[in-house]
Structure 1
């Protein structure tokens, strides 16, 4: 059964698929620019909140509370209808979006104008053992799990007497040298080293953090000298960096690298790239060879009137590089996501009002990255910063981009408390298996009943 009617009665209906950074900010832009009588707006996402992913490394390292890096869609979008469910397909011929909620019920949502921004998922490669051993790093739940997992390895190692098992517990592998991987690695290594102060039985030198990157450099978003500086910094901290190296296998936690290195580990953090949401394959929209929606420079889907796309899932021409590479498209970065959302909202308004949409053009201004407490790298308008200044710029930039004053204040207070007091480095095992204690209680009750029959 269709959810509502096309045109929302007398008003056109705008449906935004995806409530992530692009989807939320596009909806906020529409709320600020559209009059109530001009259109109705529906936002559909599997999660009832937006996650600001650049803060996930600090969530994993216990510098920021998990709830503070998410923005609830319903409280942020007062004039939009929010539908929580998984989009199973888009049929533009019928102008419908198929949505399945958490209970398995399916409905169709009609639209007049569609904005596609479901984002991306981790890119998985056919490496033996990866699916069983790997931990992704794109959601709050993954960041929380990773923090608890790493700390639980320290708990187990503190009482382990077997040398091989102890070495395995204290070995941590990160695959992927992009921004996500480097920031996650640096923050988690920093946290684990600080946490050893509470584990007298563990020498910080026993911690083994390994980075594997398939190309000859890390963080391609910054200049090569800045990438080399970061590699040197990581190695100074005792982190093993393997460049131009791939992972051949990780079955049962036994890792074999392409350069012949072998070791055992219980922790594999997988950040080796992303791919567009596979839901796009169940649509009638045109896709490129990487599975992204083909778009024009105005963020309109090529050859499909009334449909727009932006963010990681969209192949948008990069007009700033078009002279050197006619096929250049915008990469999956936070900078493009923020600016495309702004342009997307304005172009949808222009379309409704009968005006011509404007082209998206963004000159790259630089990048910032945090590398643990008081360490960072930044390259902004050609100015290079390292150490504390870069770390401060990194935090200031992302705090400014975090939606809502509410969230900004909460994160700022998290940082203030972290500066005044030590971080809480305690694993909460029930978060990894919340039913364990209930099952234990049930087993105990069963044993008691059997013993008293």
Structure 2
């Protein structure tokens, strides 16, 4: 029985395994999925997790609950030796071992792409994982709690009430808008803090935001954000963030305790560098339209497949300037479904089919009851776009079990409001116990008694 190894359990990895379970006959192939995390995070929900609109656990999908016939291995793949069709598996706390396979599917996704700007690595946080979204949510609420206890002329208070987001793509704008909406809701619970004290700044190096929508829609979003006290600085770059003070190339400075980096992604470097599969200049694994890996001469690398953010998949409908698919959730999910069908076809001696997806539009949530939708020349803004956003992503969330949890949470929030309680102490769960735990007293070392001085006669004899 051939073994299919799936490297990565995010969007593309989870959907590939899920669809293979539907298409493969019993005993036709063994599917093994390796990922250090036990779940797939639905990334479009991260801004709402950060704003308290979605419970964090509802935005993830458990691998073991929903993959019934796939062998799950919670570990890292540190090396792919496709020449010998083996992968090195490194479980946490255990010794690494090699796993042989017949087909490898690389779906290890992407990570935040940063630049060597002083202070960013030490003070910023990304928006690429559920853990980061939870940390942003807890930090925002905790900062309000701390600021409320400080005098109004305090520099620390000003810093705590300032949020800076870097990057004006969909992820950045949605995060920015959701946090502004969340902060406005928090003000109702903090009479000590005025609206004018809260400062929200988004820094974008380009001359516009959200390139997926029309310029008219993007400009409407800018005006709408400005009305709510959230300001976007176009044609501006971060020059320094040392000590949490964001300095721009235009001379502005924004001391902030919450700096969020959303300025681009790159293919998972650990997996790519540890693989002998061919890559392109952007560091992604090269594939042809049917999602099989190809080398520099366009020859198919037998038994190797890739999809999602880590793969340079040709986009026949227009995508990035180099003609490849944009690294987003839409492509990852649809590529995974096509890959599962193609891999099944190849196992049965049939021909694979090219991946082709026509983008139906883009939808963004901009805080409670507000959004933007763009499909061709059709643009919808405000409440109905927000309904479209929630409707689309509510249905796109994989498995009905997860859909119901998310939708039911939205219903609860409609009647009860956001659940704005920070649990940042969970990041150091033993701190409270350690503070008051009794410890053994250190042993007291006995001081040896001084030796008696020799008598005078003994000294003479010794001499």
For Structure 1 versus Structure 2, the TM-score category normalised by the shorter chain is over 0.9
Q: Distance in 2 between matches of 1:378 and 1:105?
A: 49
Asked whether 1:440 is paired with 2:440, we answer no
Report the CA distance between 1:228 and its aligned residue: 1.2
Aligned to 2:255: 264
In the other structure, the counterpart of 2:446 is none
* In structure 2, distance between residues paired with 1:75 and 1:55: 20
Residue 4 of structure 1 corresponds to none
Q: Identify the match of residue 287 of structure 1 among 279, 293, 296.
A: 279
Asked if residue 365 in structure 1 is aligned to residue 360 in structure 2, the reply is yes
- Relative to structure 2, which stretch is displaced further, 334-343 or 161-170? 161-170
Q: Distance in 1 between matches of 2:64 and 2:244?
A: 42
Q: How does the TM-score come out when normalised to structure 2?
A: 0.92
Show the counterpart of 1:8: none
Q: CA deviation at 1:337?
A: 1.0
Cα displacement string for residues 178-200 of structure 1 (whole angstroms, at most 9, x for unaligned residues): 11111111111111111111111
* CA distance in structure 1 between the aligned counterparts of 2:39 and 2:433, rounded to whole angstroms: 29
C-alpha separation in 2, matches of 1:436 and 1:205: 36
- Equivalent residue for 1:176? 167
Which of 164, 183, 187 aligns to 2:155? It is: 164
Is the partner of 2:408 in helix, strand or coil? Answer: helix
Inter-partner Cα distance in structure 1 for 2:330 and 2:377:
16
Q: Deviations over 1:354-384 (max 9, x none)?
A: 1111111112211000000000001135321
CA spacing shift, 1:374–1:353, aligned 2, 3 Å: same
1:302 aligns to 2:294 (yes or no) = yes
Structure 1 residues 43-72: Cα deviation after superposition (integer angstroms, max 9, x where no partner): 111101111010111111111111111111
- Partners in 2 of 1:435 and 1:172 — Cα distance? 29
- Report the equivalent of 1:354: 349
Verify: 1:20 aligned to 2:21, yes or no.
no
**Are the equivalent residues in 2 in contact too, given 1:145–1:431 (CA < 8 A)?**
no
Note if contact 1:311-1:332 (Cα within 8 Å) is conserved in structure 2.
yes
Q: Does 1:89 align with 2:84?
A: no
Cα distance in 2, alignment partners of residues 351 and 128 from structure 1? 49
Counterpart for residue 454 of structure 2: none
Distance (Å, rounded) in 1 between the aligned partners of 2:360 and 2:276: 35
Q: In the TM superposition, what whole-angstrom CA distance separates every residue of 1:291-345 from its partner, at most 9, and x where no partner exists?
A: 10011111110031111101000001111239x96x4100101111121011111
- Give a deviation string over 1:33-92, Cα, whole Å, max 9, x none: 110121111111110111101011111111111111111111111011011111101000
Q: Secondary structure at the match of 1:306?
A: strand
Residue deviations 1:403-439 (CA, integer Å, cap 9, x gap): 1110001111100000001212222231232232133
CA distance in 1, matches of 2:184, 2:366: 14
Distance 2:111 2:94 in 1: 22
Question: 1:3 maps to what in 2?
Answer: none
Judge conservation of contact 2:413–2:419 (CA < 8 Å) in 1: no
Residues 119, 311 of structure 1: 8 Å contact kept: yes
- 1:211 and 1:242 in contact (8 A); partners too: yes
**Structure 2 residue 116 is the aligned partner of structure 1 residue 126:** yes
My pick for the range that moved more, 49-58 or 221-230, is 221-230
The structural deviation recorded for 1:449 is 5.4
Report the counterpart of residue 67 of structure 1 in structure 2.
Answer: 57
CA contact (8 A) 1:366 1:382 kept: no
Q: 1:109 aligns with which of 91, 99, 106?
A: 99
Structure 1 gaps of 5+ residues are 1-10
Deviation of the 1:152 alpha carbon: 0.8
Report the equivalent of 1:241.
232
Q: How far apart, in 2, do the equivalents of 1:175 and 1:429 lie?
A: 23
**1:320 maps to 2:317:** yes
Number of the residue aligned with 2:266: 275
Q: Distance between the aligned counterparts of 2:79 and 2:198, measured in 1?
A: 46
Give the alignment partner of residue 195 of structure 2, picking from 179, 191, 204: 204
TM-score of the superposed pair, with normalisation by structure 1: 0.94
Measured against aligned partners, the alpha-carbon deviations of 1:169-227 in whole angstroms (never above 9, x if no partner) come to 11110001111111111111111111111111101221000000111111111122111
Contact 2:169–2:209 (CA under 8 A) maintained in structure 1: yes
Q: Aligned pair 1:388/2:379, yes or no?
A: no
Select 2:401's aligned residue among 406, 412, 421.
Answer: 406
1:32 aligns with 22
Q: How many residues align?
A: 437
Q: Offset at 1:262?
A: 1.1
SS at match of 1:301: strand
1:128-154 deviation line (CA, Å, top 9, x unaligned) = 000110011111111111111011110
Q: Report the Cα distance in structure 2 between the residues aligned to 1:369 and 1:12, rounded to whole angstroms.
A: 42
Alignment partner of 1:328: what SS? Answer: coil
Does structure 1 residue 426 correspond to structure 2 residue 421? yes
Taking the aligned partners of 1:433 and 1:190, their CA distance within structure 2 comes to 28
Structure 2: runs of 5+ lacking an equivalent: 296-300, 443-463
Paired position in structure 1 for 2:140: 150
Q: For 1:15 and 1:77, how far apart are their aligned partners in 2?
A: 14
1:253-278 Cα offsets, whole Å, 9 max, x none, are: 11111111112111101111111001
Q: Secondary structure at the match of 1:190?
A: helix
Alpha-carbon distance between aligned partners in 2 of 1:357 and 1:403, rounded to the nearest angstrom: 25
Instruction: Please say if 1:223 is aligned against 2:220.
Output: no
Q: Quote the RMSD (CA, aligned, Å).
A: 1.7
